[in-house]
Chains A and B, each alone.
Chain A
Amino acid sequence: MSFLRPTLFRIPVKPASLVAPATVALVTALLILIPFERSNGDTSGVISFLVSFLTFVAIYAIFTLGLNVQWGYSGVFNFGVLGFFMLGAYTAAIVTKQPASGNFTDYIGGFGGDLDLLPWLSSDEWLPHLVGLAAAAGVAGLAALLLAVPTLRLRGDYLAIATIGVAEVLRRVVIEETWLVNGTRGLTGVPRPLGGLVDSSDYKYLLLAICGTFLVLIYLLIERAIRSPWGRVLMALREDEMATEASGKNVFAFKMQSFVMGAAIMGAGGAIYAYASSSLTPEVFTHFFATFLFWAMLILGGSGNNRGAIVGAYVLWGFWTITLQFQSYDLPDLVETRMPYVRELVLGTLIVAVLLVRPAGLLPQRRQVSVWVERQLKRRPPSPSGSSGADVELSSR
């Protein structure tokens, strides 16, 4: 019931910590300097490197935001991001692609040609993609709904185990059922949104703009939802489920909604990933890449803070890309073959270290009440005495 206490009517003070800006600055500097050095000062090479880097940061930030809705805001515990990622990516791919043809391809669907419904604005360039995106979000949300019915009423960790299970089953289905989405051969040639509008050498800028737009839209959507009465119930039940239930809220329904909303966002992220990378193979979809990475991003960035989730995605994917750059240097054989695993080790220990040392992450969660209260505060600022450092970590979970 902490949200009813009058102390909340203080304006959150900006964090004094310099850790977050310093980390971001360090990663940014390395991201510019290393490719600059490698390409011997070729600026255009550095720019195209940064553009593709930012594109993937935007995509991964969408997953981290989806996870933030589930874990950060409502304490719902999903270790199977991979499952919703795959559902979204493959759904979007089979919606937008042409039907299967040829000897070595076999997959269901392929509605790309049938979706050219509008006669204007060259709708074949974007309408199938929007339909695919909606279908991806819908399928992932539906899967979350089905999974939540048996598990969400039980202990939180049962849901986590069940989500690992869903992810593993889906991974097996994609590999074993070759008729479904072409098995291990994967799907290639997923059509790119608005691909015919610009020169192929400039397409990367457009792609960045598209991914960035979706990231901003999803960010605004979540921010708005979280500041609504609905969002306040979520945060209340994360802090104290029993008190929330005692105030007459249907805890199960709220948890369910946030789980489904997060999963749908992950599904949409999967669709955008499919459009951006244009080919999907099951080898990419490992538990490590598609689940742990996003957890590490969220924990590092600060769970319960959407900006933190985005910063976490930026910093970690930056770290990832920088270590990939190291591989182009002449390293000893012993180190070079182990680079990928060293990265994983850093990631695993990072999760533990952040939980121990800085549980709130780089950008700690701000106390936020509602749009209405914030508006009142702007009109009538409270007395400054005793209200410093009100940026409280809500870590008593």
Chain B
Amino acid sequence: MIVLFFVWAVIDRRDAVMIGIVEGSILALGAVGLTLVYGVLKFAHFAHGDSMMLSAYCAFLLLSGVVTGSRPGVDAEVLPITVSDLPAASSEIWKFSFGYGLLIAMALSALLIAGVLVLLDRLVYRRLRRRNSGIVIFSIASLGLAIAIRSLVLIVWGPTPRKYTTVVRQNIHLPFDTTILADQLFIIAAAITVTALAYVLLFRTKLGKAMRAMADNPELARISGIKTELVIVLTWALAGALVAVAGVLLALQAQLDPQLGFVLLLPLFAAAILGGVGNPQGAFFGGMIVGVVQAVVVTFDFLSPGYKFSVAFVILILILLIRPRGLFGAKL
């Protein structure tokens, strides 16, 4: 039935499927990070969506230097030096709406968010771990952090939605009579590249092996000589980098909106659970499936586009009812 749905969607709603793949690849990146934290640290990280928005705003800061919310009559405060000051950083590459400045900003904010998540782990989660708190306490702490991150974004940049550039975006014609924005092609390519890097790290390096061992059985990993605290730090760093890239790509696809972070948790968790908690490949495909289904379903006449994230919720409930271990099994 699922296969039939996708076949029908590809034939009948090709444009929506394209948008779904673009949004799906963003969700996939976020969900891979989420599922890693879920797998290694065993708790639901409710600050994931807000970390994604924070990263998008960090890249915005690096690109534009704007540090205060601009309102009518008040000029925004602007940092003296930004990435855009580099020579020709904003001149557009090929048909994209951005220059190499965005790539630098993306890389820097990936580092930054990785650092922020590691720092929060040192400050908050490690102390809870030492006290042997239950997993639910971790989740509540992450909810508190989600509120704090969101309000920080609101304090600095204000509630008005923003965009990286206002340049007109160019279309590209693809085979089978589909068109796609050049930026969207970049989003898909970037998402696949970054996920491939994460895959190599997880399944082709010793570090990845340690991470998977820890997800499988933390006690056994510890007595086998794996430095569990180090693995935890690296898990946060990897999840942070992934979610940061996802955030920048999301802002490139839509716009920056501080309110979006919390609601994004729904498709992210739907993707992670659909793919099986702790299963990175599963989370990637889960993200794609959730993205496509969301985009296709809201093209139905009887549903307004406002229900996009509600669709993710319905997917979540269905998967919990039918196959709570996820389509691909829970395993790292």
CB of B107 within 8 Å of the partner chain: no
Q: Are B151 and A341 in contact (CB under 8 A)?
A: yes
Partner of B139, one of A77, A343, A344, A350: A77
Q: How far is the CB of A91 from chain B (nearest CB, A)?
A: 20
Contacting residues, chain A, for B46 (C-beta < 8 A): 79, 160
Partner of B148, one of A158, A172, A176, A348: A348
CB of B155 within 8 Å of the partner chain: yes
| CB contact list, B111-151 vs A, under 8 A | 124, 127-128, 131-137, 139-141, 143-151
CB of A287 within 8 Å of the partner chain: yes
Q: How far is the CB of B311 from chain A (nearest CB, A)?
A: 10
| CB contact list, A50-91 vs B, under 8 A | 75, 77, 79
Known contacts A157-B43, A168-B266; is-contact A337 B69 (Cβ 8 Å):
yes
CB of A235 within 8 Å of the partner chain: no
CB of A275 within 8 Å of the partner chain: no
CB of A14 within 8 Å of the partner chain: no
Contacting residues, chain B, for A337 (C-beta < 8 A): 69, 71, 158
Q: Are B44 and A162 in contact (CB under 8 A)?
A: no
Contacting residues, chain A, for B7 (C-beta < 8 A): none
Q: Are B140 and A355 in contact (CB under 8 A)?
A: yes
Q: How far is the CB of B220 from chain A (nearest CB, A)?
A: 21
Q: Chain A interface: which size bin?
A: 35 or more
CB of B313 within 8 Å of the partner chain: yes
Q: Are B144 and A351 in contact (CB under 8 A)?
A: yes
Q: List 28 A-B contacts (CB under 8 A).
A: A150-B321, A154-B324, A157-B44, A161-B266, A164-B265, A168-B309, A168-B310, A169-B310, A176-B304, A176-B307, A292-B143, A295-B143, A299-B140, A342-B151, A343-B151, A344-B151, A345-B152, A347-B151, A348-B144, A348-B146, A348-B148, A348-B150, A351-B140, A351-B147, A352-B124, A352-B148, A355-B137, A396-B132
Q: Are B313 and A397 in contact (CB under 8 A)?
A: no
Contacting residues, chain B, for A161 (C-beta < 8 A): 44, 265-266, 269, 273, 316
Q: Are B154 and A344 in contact (CB under 8 A)?
A: yes
Q: Are B155 and A342 in contact (CB under 8 A)?
A: yes
Contacting residues, chain B, for A288 (C-beta < 8 A): 147
B248-278, CB under 8 A of A: which get 1 and which 0? 0000000000000011011001000100000
Q: How far is the CB of B3 from chain A (nearest CB, A)?
A: 24
Contacting residues, chain A, for B307 (C-beta < 8 A): 169, 172, 176
Q: Are B266 and A352 in contact (CB under 8 A)?
A: no
CB of A382 within 8 Å of the partner chain: no
A165-180, CB under 8 A of B: which get 1 and which 0? 1101100100110000
Contacting residues, chain A, for B155 (C-beta < 8 A): 338, 341-342, 345
Q: Are B135 and A157 in contact (CB under 8 A)?
A: yes
Contacting residues, chain A, for B147 (C-beta < 8 A): 288, 292, 344-345, 347-348, 351
Q: Are A341 and B154 in contact (CB under 8 A)?
A: yes
Known contacts A154-B324, A288-B147; is-contact A351 B135 (Cβ 8 Å):
no
Which residue of B is nearest A286, CB measured? Answer: B259
Q: How far is the CB of B276 from chain A (nearest CB, A)?
A: 13
Give Cα A161 to B143, complex, Å.
12
Contacting residues, chain A, for B313 (C-beta < 8 A): 162, 165-166, 168-169
Which residue of B is nearest A292, CB measured? Answer: B147
Q: Are A356 and B143 in contact (CB under 8 A)?
A: no
CB of A151 within 8 Å of the partner chain: yes
Q: Are A172 and B145 in contact (CB under 8 A)?
A: no
Which residue of A is nearest B154, CB measured? Answer: A341
5 nearest CB pairs, A to B: A348-B147, A351-B144, A165-B313, A348-B148, A344-B151
CB of A202 within 8 Å of the partner chain: no
B283-321, CB under 8 A of A: which get 1 and which 0? 000000000000000000000101101101100110011
Tell which of B124, B140, B148, B316 has the most Cβ of chain A within 10 Å: B140
Known contacts A292-B147, A344-B147, A352-B148; is-contact A154 B139 (Cβ 8 Å):
no
Q: How far is the CB of B267 from chain A (nearest CB, A)?
A: 10
CB of B68 within 8 Å of the partner chain: yes
CB of A349 within 8 Å of the partner chain: yes
Q: Are A348 and B145 in contact (CB under 8 A)?
A: yes
CB of B74 within 8 Å of the partner chain: yes
Give Cα A353 to B221, complex, Å.
31
Which residue of B is nearest A157, CB measured? Answer: B44
- Excluding A165-B310, A351-B141, A352-B141, 13 further A-B contacts by CB distance (< 8 Å) are A164-B266, A165-B316, A168-B266, A176-B304, A288-B147, A338-B154, A344-B148, A345-B151, A348-B151, A351-B140, A351-B143, A356-B124, A397-B137
Give Cα A105 to B314, complex, Å.
30
CB of A156 within 8 Å of the partner chain: yes
Contacting residues, chain A, for B304 (C-beta < 8 A): 176
Q: Are A355 and B74 in contact (CB under 8 A)?
A: no
Give Cα A295 to B136, complex, Å.
13
CB of A121 within 8 Å of the partner chain: no
Q: How far is the CB of A79 from chain B (nearest CB, A)?
A: 7
Q: Are B144 and A350 in contact (CB under 8 A)?
A: yes
Q: How far is the CB of B316 from chain A (nearest CB, A)?
A: 6
Q: How far is the CB of B149 from chain A (nearest CB, A)?
A: 8
Tell which of B144, B146, B263, B312 has the most Cβ of chain A within 10 Å: B144
Contacting residues, chain A, for B143 (C-beta < 8 A): 79, 292, 295, 351
Known contacts A156-B136, A157-B43, A355-B144; is-contact A150 B317 (Cβ 8 Å):
yes
| CB contact list, A9-25 vs B, under 8 A | none
Q: How far is the CB of A78 from chain B (nearest CB, A)?
A: 11
Give Cα A156 to B46, complex, Å.
13
Q: Are B150 and A75 in contact (CB under 8 A)?
A: no
Contacting residues, chain B, for A287 (C-beta < 8 A): 262-263
B33-57, CB under 8 A of A: which get 1 and which 0? 0000000000110100000000000
Contacting residues, chain A, for B139 (C-beta < 8 A): 77, 157, 160
Which residue of A is nearest B147, CB measured? Answer: A348
CB of A4 within 8 Å of the partner chain: no
Contacting residues, chain A, for B149 (C-beta < 8 A): 348
Q: How far is the CB of B156 from chain A (nearest CB, A)?
A: 9
Give Cα A155 to B265, complex, Å.
17
Contacting residues, chain A, for B68 (C-beta < 8 A): 334
Give Cα A288 to B151, complex, Å.
10
Partner of A75, one of B132, B136, B146: B136
Partner of B128, one of A342, A343, A348, A356: A356
Which residue of B is nearest A347, CB measured? Answer: B147
Q: Are A175 and B306 in contact (CB under 8 A)?
A: yes
Give Cα A287 to B149, complex, Å.
15
Q: Are B136 and A355 in contact (CB under 8 A)?
A: no
A374-397, CB under 8 A of B: which get 1 and which 0? 000000000000000000000111
Partner of A355, one of B141, B152, B269: B141
